[in-house]
A and B are shown apart, each in its own frame.
Chain A
Amino acid sequence: MSDRVVIVGGGHNGLVAAALLARSGRDVVLLEARPELGGLAATRELIPGHRVDAGSHDLGMFRRSVMEELELGGHGLELIEAPAVAAVPATADSSAVVLWPEVARTVEGLGQVSRRDAAAWPGFVFELAERAAALEPLLSRPLELADMGRLLIAPELLRTLSSPLEESLRERFENPSLLAALCGVALPATGLGPRANGTGWPLLFHCALGGSDRLAPVVRARGGAGALASALAASAAASGAAIRTGAVVSRILVDAGRVAGVRLADGERIEAGAVISTATLSVTFLDLIGAPLLEPRFVRRVLNVKYRGAAARLALSLDGLPAFRGLERPALTGRIVLAEQPDDIERAADAAKYRRLPPRPWIEAALPTALDPTLAPAGRHLLLATVHHLPFDLEGGWATGGPELLARVAAELERWAPGIGGLVREHAVLLPTDYEADYGATAGALHHGEMNPSQSLWLRPTASAWAGEPLPVDGLWLGGAGCHPGGGLTGLPGMIAAVSLLRG
């Protein structure tokens, strides 16, 4: 048996696994289908001369200890922390709200819109941090049965994570913009509106990984999120890992119930004693292993994974900074949530449920050039508008739905930042179907399976087990966002895979 470890997928999780394993002296080959590394956190020149992040551009949840161990700083990674966490601009009917990492600064701003909310904010942040801290230890290793006790003895934590987010938030807050900001931070990639049960979980998750004692700040990599992938690749290569792009794995080879290696689309065969797949569960099991090799009840389990809550990204090259009402420049550095109230998100989720476009899409916007001007040619600004809660299987299809969505997004942007239309010079779009076609993200799911309690913690597969049972193929490990603790730019699934494999 070969002691080589093959890693399928060069997203950040695959790269973390590759770097950690190579550092421990393992013979590692990483295979990425695309020409560039980074997966859903790659930076591409989607607009000539611009460095556009295809997916995540926030490293706030990325595990610091992994950065240090892999010496990513030494391999060219430079972090920039955004002054603002999230902001909602003002409209004719609603007020602007800005959330800062610093409690006092947020309280000061909230005082202008609601004295009650301002007074409630410190207690909220404290309690959130406390609950997130209780959760955090469960997120960086495979779960054990004993961990269940931690949750069961914390009824408030359990209640928060299983309740509708809006309901929990309304216990404290009244201002619609503030509620929208928090929902906008939490709900991408859940497929659920804020009135759905279980939507407390993603906010806790976000805070547990993003900030121990304060609201998780937005952190960017200089040069775009792809700089993280480059640094990880450099670290891995320095430890001897072979990293290949343009290498499409077409089969994980199984011999008598054990992985034997992989076969590439061009026919090349690479022997391996272990394979870590960071592709989605659907791709890994149904396409790469193949359903006929798996037990039917396991196939059914794979088919039952929910991938709702797709997103589209519109990148705009602008002539200048757009004028979002009521927001000063530092407030534009974090997430800009374009929703007046939680119901705007709820209605988008409703439409998606019926396979329709939201009449008024809610948008998570970002202006990465506000922090890092090198991303666009001089004088230009880059606006990334992410439309969440979209149906993947849109009624009528994306060929006609795409342009229609674009028109609706343009109208929304104009409403929030009057005059923005006149600033646009170039644009690029990635639709849910593009995410699936380009990155193998099943149903366009950003997190390789939606993040709700029914697909989290014990219910999400971990590196070597799923639902308490070992994976059906020996020598196969899972290391992508589809496994515990889940999606987002955390590096944790990849780290857990590497650590589990090293422990054997």
Chain B
Amino acid sequence: MLEAEGLIGRSPDSQAYRWLPGAPGGGVAGSSPRRNGLRPLEPLRTPFHRRTSVLCESDSWRDWSGYTCVETYEPTPEREYWAVRNAAALIDVSPLFKYEIAGPDAERLLDRVMTRDFSKCRTGRVMYTSWCNEEGHLLQDGNVQRLAHERFLVSAAEPCLRWFEDCGWSMDVDVRDISEEIGVLALQGPRARAIGEAATTGIDFGAMRYFDLAAGEIGPGAGGGQVTVTRTGYTGDLGYEFWVASERAEALWDALVDAGRDHGLLPAGLLALDMARTEAGLVLIDVDYVSAVDAEIEVLKVTPAEAGLGFTVKLDKQADFVGRRALELERDRGPAWAMVGLEVDWFELERLWSEIDLRPQVVGQPACREPTPVFAPGGWQVGQCTTRFFSPLLKKYLGLATVRGEAADPGTELDVEVAVGYGRRRAKARVVERPFFNPPRKTAVDPTPGVNG
């Protein structure tokens, strides 16, 4: 944070620290500083920046893969969070890395890299998948859109161009980093369909099933420019993501904001997004699991099953994907770890805090990402809780935790370390099913506000 703040203060005209495409003193023409695995010295701006920056009252920004992004527009994220659950929120998620994979071997490459079966992914569908290294250790998770028979778009949190190149050597396929060519807006919440419908033309939102994609035009009239809509998101709610050429990004923003006026649409920052995704029980790379690329030591690496993504591994698929052998062995012996939901006992929390004469200082806080140990009741450590927060909707103190396989069954009683003032205490917690919150509208066919919960 400090670093980012210091840099934002620097004059944009200063060339001294520039290392951007075409800037003097560095950068291969047309190459992105992010692509080299380095953070650019000046924050990059998403194609929505001119819109988001004027709305960001709190002036609270965060670095996301080199881009400067709004943490929260208002001083606290609460209203933005409630917009996700009760109306709709507009979230700029452009910093995702995006790769276009095109050519006769495009499906073959994806089937080689990904744990999901892409021979079963029809054009117009999106698949959520994991990908692993040779040892079956998770590299990343992300969405893959099948735009045409021989054209896919992969979106991922971390760069992976080189990995695609290594896996696709000698295949007839073209992999292109199009991260900077495309802006992405997530429109999430029960009103999302109505807003999306009003803001675009040519897309039949009623016919779009969960994880479908469709192409249309921006704005109620013609000529607004192309947009691709996917019924996806990271909030566990009804929602859509809009993929647009960077030049048309502001037009898309304006159309959605216009259409959202009567629906209580709010722009939402990353803190609200983080709260929503935790309620949805969705894991986050670098927070809930460490990519095998970044794991300094062996024990930090996890398999998809250990990160709660076992459902993305298709060992019955035809293609021989990277990590398959290791994952077959894991299937036979069972994963060592499991990603679970935790619900911390509220009365216990109140008791611990009352010892220092306070109420539990967890309500109204953004999700906490400081990993803390999880113990067998009164016993040894069995894992760690990587995200936890008080759900304003469910009125529960919830966590995502990685625990030993034997401690993973729902109902298992565990202890979790909590900070009580300056003290470190153990509170009782119970393993519960994820997602914590899963409204029918998320996946409903022809979703209608008020009808699908």
Q: CB-CB contacts of B100-128 with A at 8 A, as 1s and 0s?
A: 00000000100010000000000000000
A295 proximity list for chain B (CB < 8 A): 134, 322
The smallest beta-carbon distance between B142 and chain A, in angstroms, is 17
Q: Would you call B171 and A292 a contact (CB within 8 A)?
A: yes
A296 proximity list for chain B (CB < 8 A): 133-134, 163, 166-167, 169, 322
A293 proximity list for chain B (CB < 8 A): 320
Interface centre among A291, A293, A296 (most CB of B within 10 A): A296
Q: Does B170 contact A (CB under 8 A)?
A: yes
The smallest beta-carbon distance between B333 and chain A, in angstroms, is 20
Q: Which residue of B108, B133, B166, B320 is within 8 Å of A299 (Cβ)? A: B166
Complex Cα distance, B167 from A293, in Å, reads: 10
Complex Cα distance, B346 from A128, in Å, reads: 79
**Interface residue SS majority, chain B:** loop
Q: Assuming A296-B163, A297-B133, A297-B134, is B322 touching A291 (CB within 8 A)?
A: no
Interface centre among B112, B169, B320, B322 (most CB of A within 10 A): B169
Q: CB-CB contacts of B130-145 with A at 8 A, as 1s and 0s?
A: 0001100000000000
| Chain B residue with Cβ nearest A300 | B166
B322 proximity list for chain A (CB < 8 A): 295-296
Complex Cα distance, B323 from A296, in Å, reads: 10
A299 proximity list for chain B (CB < 8 A): 166-167, 169
A303 proximity list for chain B (CB < 8 A): 166, 169
Q: Which residue of B133, B134, B163, B170 is within 8 Å of A292 (Cβ)? A: B170
Q: CB-CB contacts of B143-163 with A at 8 A, as 1s and 0s?
A: 000000000000000000001
Q: Would you call A286 and B134 a contact (CB within 8 A)?
A: no
Q: Would you call B112 and A292 a contact (CB within 8 A)?
A: yes
Within 8 A of A (CB), among B288-330: 320, 322
| Chain B residue with Cβ nearest A290 | B170
Complex Cα distance, B47 from A204, in Å, reads: 60
Q: Which residue of A291, A297, A300 is within 8 Å of B170 (Cβ)? A: A291
The smallest beta-carbon distance between A294 and chain B, in angstroms, is 9
Complex Cα distance, B169 from A286, in Å, reads: 8
Complex Cα distance, B320 from A293, in Å, reads: 8
Interface centre among B163, B166, B320, B322 (most CB of A within 10 A): B166
Within 8 A of A (CB), among B365-424: none
Complex Cα distance, B171 from A286, in Å, reads: 11
| Chain B residue with Cβ nearest A296 | B166
The smallest beta-carbon distance between B101 and chain A, in angstroms, is 15
Q: How many residues of B contact A (CB 8 A)?
A: 12
Complex Cα distance, B402 from A193, in Å, reads: 55
The smallest beta-carbon distance between B125 and chain A, in angstroms, is 24
The smallest beta-carbon distance between A351 and chain B, in angstroms, is 24
Complex Cα distance, B163 from A291, in Å, reads: 13
| Chain A residue with Cβ nearest B171 | A292
Complex Cα distance, B170 from A300, in Å, reads: 12
Q: Would you call A286 and B166 a contact (CB within 8 A)?
A: no
Complex Cα distance, B167 from A297, in Å, reads: 9
Complex Cα distance, B202 from A362, in Å, reads: 69
Q: CB-CB contacts of A275-318 with B at 8 A, as 1s and 0s?
A: 00000000000100011110111011001000000000000000
| Chain A residue with Cβ nearest B134 | A295
The smallest beta-carbon distance between B425 and chain A, in angstroms, is 45
Q: Would you call B166 and A297 a contact (CB within 8 A)?
A: yes
Complex Cα distance, B162 from A297, in Å, reads: 11
The smallest beta-carbon distance between A55 and chain B, in angstroms, is 28
Within 8 A of A (CB), among B145-203: 163, 166-167, 169-171
Interface centre among A290, A292, A300 (most CB of B within 10 A): A292
B320 proximity list for chain A (CB < 8 A): 293
Complex Cα distance, B430 from A320, in Å, reads: 96
The smallest beta-carbon distance between B257 and chain A, in angstroms, is 43
Complex Cα distance, B169 from A295, in Å, reads: 11
The smallest beta-carbon distance between B46 and chain A, in angstroms, is 31
B108 proximity list for chain A (CB < 8 A): 292
Complex Cα distance, B169 from A299, in Å, reads: 8
Complex Cα distance, B320 from A291, in Å, reads: 12
B163 proximity list for chain A (CB < 8 A): 296
| Chain B residue with Cβ nearest A257 | B325
| Chain A residue with Cβ nearest B323 | A295
Q: Would you call B169 and A291 a contact (CB within 8 A)?
A: yes
Complex Cα distance, B165 from A297, in Å, reads: 11
The smallest beta-carbon distance between B323 and chain A, in angstroms, is 9
Complex Cα distance, B167 from A462, in Å, reads: 24
Complex Cα distance, B163 from A299, in Å, reads: 11
B134 proximity list for chain A (CB < 8 A): 295-297
A300 proximity list for chain B (CB < 8 A): 166
Complex Cα distance, B112 from A291, in Å, reads: 11
Complex Cα distance, B112 from A286, in Å, reads: 16
B169 proximity list for chain A (CB < 8 A): 286, 291-292, 296, 299, 303
| Chain B residue with Cβ nearest A293 | B320
The smallest beta-carbon distance between A377 and chain B, in angstroms, is 47
Apart from A295-B134, A297-B134, what 9 extra A-B contacts exist at CB < 8 Å? A291-B169, A291-B170, A292-B112, A292-B169, A292-B171, A296-B322, A297-B133, A299-B166, A303-B166
Instruction: Give me 8 A-to-B residue pairs in the complex whose CB atoms sit less than 8 angstroms apart, sorted by A's number.
Output: A286-B169, A286-B170, A292-B108, A296-B134, A297-B133, A297-B134, A297-B166, A303-B166
Interface residues of A (CB under 8 A from B): 286, 290-293, 295-297, 299-300, 303
Top 10 A-B residue pairs of the complex, sorted by shortest distance between their CB atoms? A296-B166, A291-B169, A295-B134, A291-B170, A296-B167, A300-B166, A299-B169, A299-B166, A297-B134, A286-B170
